[in-house]
Structure 1
């Protein structure tokens, strides 16, 4: 897939079909973008599992934080990545290793690695990169 441009229907379909999201790089700091996006996703009815090894066992926005993707207690539809682009390949490897793979890996603004995306897509996982669901949701869904 060409990740320079996404069809609006592709993004809207993802946002309408996913219900559970693991948010990697979740922060308890309300000034951090990951915290704001997590709050937005929760407000839209998504079930969000924050993942941050430094915060594991604590709560962010009322949700228990997990150390790694494999610790999330149920399969997730989407992994939302708030980590630097150089970590995306490792996130893809973690997602592929899960017993039940997510349908989507979503790299936040500036999070892009085309080789990692190709690996995910070869494993049957959709990729979105350099986009934010808290921007795309209001734009495409309302």
Structure 2
């Protein structure tokens, strides 16, 4: 991590969370004990529609929603793409993101990649959050306000 990436302000992140309804979760596992499953289930309970993206489980259901093999295969608009893949995979996810009808790229806590940011910005995406947990940010910026 080079430390060059800078997250948007709390006000911008709050706006992302209040205006968004649909969250595609890249790397969402069907195993309940995983962080991706626990965070997604909690966000679902807070009113967000969770769209699973997992090539191994494409066509199956996770948390009651059909899983897709890639972001580009989702046939409707997605507000946030929440990524649970290791940092070295973020550039590939960023390229996939640019093929999708999605607005905000969000990499979970502990995940950050400078190349991914450069790919996203070169592709016209300015809405990028990295190294932040969407559930913790929602709790901090929305529920605790």
Shared fold, TM over 0.5: yes
Does structure 2 conserve the Cα–Cα contact (< 8 Å) formed by 1:26 and 1:51? yes
Map of 1:105-116 to 2, 5 A cutoff? 105-116=105-116
CA–CA distance in structure 2, aligned partners of residues 115 and 52 of structure 1: 22
Q: Distance in 2 between matches of 1:118 and 1:41?
A: 28
What is the aligned partner in structure 2 of residue 133 from structure 1?
134
Matched, 1:48 2:50: yes
Asked whether 1:58 is paired with 2:60, we answer: yes
Aligned length: 139
Q: Which residue of 2 aligns with 1:36?
A: 38
Q: Deviations over 1:113-137 (max 9, x none)?
A: 1221132123332110010110000
Q: RMSD between aligned alpha carbons?
A: 1.5
**What TM-score, normalized to structure 2?**
0.88
Contact kept in structure 1, 2:8 and 2:128, CA below 8 Å? no
Unaligned 5+ segments in structure 2 are: none
Matches within 5 A, 1:2-21: 3-4=5-6, 6-21=8-23
